[in-house]
């Protein structure tokens, strides 16, 4: 990253990339191939278009679209226009999306056309008349007058990444330009990313890992971005062969699926050099297979929306270290264990706070600047962190955080549900899936299908429980709290 602090902005990094990597491919998406100077020109065109439509510095621009060249251009365009980016999960229902738009007070919404059989803008218009003032379908087009772009400072708000809390209320974690670039630079350094790398980005751009450890890391190092909108193992292998992909991060399920696929031998995957995984338990056997069968350097990492990537393994670490730990601190993070061995993080790249939520911010970041992650861990003599449990009930399905309280709140609206408790259960493909434990109201009878269908209409697919178990009562302690560890044992 540029050593001059005054230049630690996304627009300055884009300028530097365009000047430093003149002939290098910045982005490949199907037939579209853009050099870094061409990407910069397209981004500036999008930035001027948004400014011409009324987007001003400090405004928030929401973006709901699959991984593509259009997402990259729109996101970087919003940042170069001085706006803060609010990425929206493409799996969200219209209700969940409207909630984020209102909470973020988004001035503009940029949205894809139909994706996975859904027209999200039509869904939003059918649900609410109170949508952002500026509505734009991708790709961004503008035929208005030339508009000057604003100066952006490193402390300018860069993005608001929404995460669900254990209360089910979504919270927007805010980062400045210097912070988003700081974690991206540290991730790139740990992975030894260079302009010779070609990076297949399967992680969704709406997630911190796809956006910051993906797009921004490439921008900082001159690596080539190759976005994939939906993980399809055959298409992934085809892209690795065709584009000579060197870097492939993703949850463990991606690599398990790739290794076990019957057609793997018919593709040339020899260009791969680096895989970065995490977001779930990583078996030692999987790490060893990735190393031996794909000749890969495999690294694991730990992060959360409020800190992006906080710890990471290093090249040369043993398979046992990689599988059983998530590395040591990076990106100038300090790490220590608090009460109940809760993982605490401190450093310049901890989020600025939660948007318009001082209470939640104060609960997450103590007066000494330590971020309370809610994860329980242990640290070995080398300073390597292992996550052992969660203080929160959150579990991870296919790489996505799932907060049971949000599902339980949805289930409370289903007639016939007296109470419910949702827990994660190990799943070979997705890491963990949800199991809903339900107590029915007197005089009501419900089926598993009815409960699951009700959730499917209201929640993103990764939040929908995969099975339902009915109980006469839920196990509770003397204080009346549901004993979720007992429910987990039942599903083990």
Q: Total structural domains in the chain?
A: 2
Where residue 86 sits, what CATH number does that domain have?
A: 3.40.50.12780
46 found inside a domain: yes
157 found inside a domain: yes
385 found inside a domain: no
Cα-flanking dihedrals φ and ψ of residue 297, to 5°?
-85, 125
Identify whether residues 371 and 417 lie together within a single domain. no
Domain boundary among 319, 348, 379: 379
Domain boundary among 326, 346, 379: 379
Report yes or no: 280 and 252 within 8 Å, Cβ to Cβ.
Answer: yes
Identify whether residues 356 and 455 lie together within a single domain. no
Q: Give the pTM.
A: 0.85
253 found inside a domain: yes
> Residue 68, class by beta-carbon neighbours within 10 Å (0-12 exposed, 13-18 middle, 19+ buried)?
buried
Identify whether residues 269 and 338 lie together within a single domain. yes
Identify whether residues 30 and 152 lie together within a single domain. yes
- Rounded CA-CA distance 444/450 in Å is 12
How do 395-397 and 385-390 pair as beta strands?
Answer: unpaired
Q: What is the pLDDT of residue 166?
A: 36
Q: What is the pLDDT of residue 5?
A: 59
Which residue segment(s) compose the domain that 49 sits in?
5-379
Q: What is the pLDDT of residue 479?
A: 52
Write the CA distances from 167 to 29, 163, 294, 392, integer angstroms: 39, 11, 42, 10
99 found inside a domain: yes
Cis peptide before 139 (omega within 30 of 0): yes
For residues 281, 284, 290, 296, the Cα torsion angle rounded to the nearest 10 degrees is: 100
Identify whether residues 208 and 67 lie together within a single domain. yes
Where residue 480 sits, what CATH number does that domain have?
A: 3.30.300.30
Residues (pLDDT < 70) of the chain are 1-6, 164-169, 279-281, 389-392, 477-481
Identify whether residues 133 and 250 lie together within a single domain. yes
Strand-pairing partners, residue 115, are: 118
Closest CA to 217 of 197, 202, 242, 246: 197
Q: Sheet holding 25-29: strands in order across?
A: 32-35, 25-29, 224-227, 198-201
- Using one digit for the tens of pLDDT, what is the confidence trace for 89-145? 998 889 989 999 999 999 999 999 988 889 999 999 999 999 999 999 999 988 888
Strand-pairing partners, residue 476, are: 482
76 found inside a domain: yes
Identify whether residues 276 and 319 lie together within a single domain. yes
388 found inside a domain: no
Residue 485 CB neighbour total at 10 angstroms: 11
């Amino acid at each position: 990253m540029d050593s001059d602090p005054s230049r630690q902005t996304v627009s300055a990094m884009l300028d530097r990339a365009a000047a430093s990597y003149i002939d290098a491919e910045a982005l490949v998406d199907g037939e579209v191939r853009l050099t870094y100077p061409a990407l910069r020109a397209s981004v500036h065109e999008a930035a001027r278009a948004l400014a011409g439509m009324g987007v001003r510095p400090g405004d928030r621009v929401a973006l709901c679209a699959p991984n593509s060249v259009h997402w990259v251009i729109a996101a970087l365009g919003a940042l170069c226009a001085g706006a803060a980016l609010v990425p929206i999960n493409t799996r969200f229902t219209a209700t969940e999306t409207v909630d984020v738009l209102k909470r973020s007070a988004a001035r503009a919404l940029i949205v894809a056309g139909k994706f996975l059989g859904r027209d999200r803008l039509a869904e939003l218009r059918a649900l609410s008349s109170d949508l952002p003032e500026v509505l734009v379908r991708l790709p961004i087009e503008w035929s208005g007058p030339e508009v000057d772009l604003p100066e952006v400072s490193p402390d300018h708000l860069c993005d608001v990444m929404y995460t669900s809390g254990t209360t089910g209320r979504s919270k927007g974690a805010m980062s400045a330009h210097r912070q988003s670039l700081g974690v991206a630079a540290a991730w790139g350094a740990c992975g030894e990313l260079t302009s010779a790398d070609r990076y297949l980005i399967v992680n969704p751009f709406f997630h911190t890992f796809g956006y910051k450890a993906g797009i921004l890391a490439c921008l900082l190092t001159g690596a080539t971005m190759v976005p994939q909108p939906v993980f399809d193992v055959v298409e992934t292998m085809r892209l690795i062969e065709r584009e000579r992909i060197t870097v492939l991060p993703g949850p463990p399920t991606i690599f398990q699926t790739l290794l076990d696929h019957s057609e793997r031998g018919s593709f040339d995957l020899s260009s791969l050099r680096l895989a970065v995984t995490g977001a779930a338990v990583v078996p030692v056997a999987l790490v060893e297979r990735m190393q031996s069968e794909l000749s890969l350097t495999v690294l694991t990492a730990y992060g959360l929306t409020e800190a992006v990537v906080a710890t990471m393994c290093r090249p040369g670490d043993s398979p046992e270290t990689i599988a059983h730990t998530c590395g040591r601190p990076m990106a100038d993070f300090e790490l220590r264990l608090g009460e109940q061995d809760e993982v605490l993080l401190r450093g310049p790249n901890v989020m600025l706070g939660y948007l318009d939520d001082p209470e939640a911010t104060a609960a997450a970041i103590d007066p000494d600047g330590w971020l309370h992650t809610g994860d329980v861990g242990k640290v070995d003599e080398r300073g390597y962190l292992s996550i052992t449990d969660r203080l929160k009930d959150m579990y991870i399905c296919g790489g996505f955080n799932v907060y049971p309280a949000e599902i339980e709140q949805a289930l409370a609206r289903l007639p016939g549900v007296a109470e419910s408790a949702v827990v994660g259960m190990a799943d070979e493909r997705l890491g963990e899936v949800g199991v809903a434990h339900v107590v029915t109201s007197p005089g009501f009878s419900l089926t598993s299908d009815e409960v699951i269908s009700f959730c499917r209409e209201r929640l993103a697919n990764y939040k929908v429980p995969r099975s339902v178990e009915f109980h006469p009562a839920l196990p509770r302690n003397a204080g009346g709290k549901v004993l979720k560890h007992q429910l987990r044992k039942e599903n083990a």
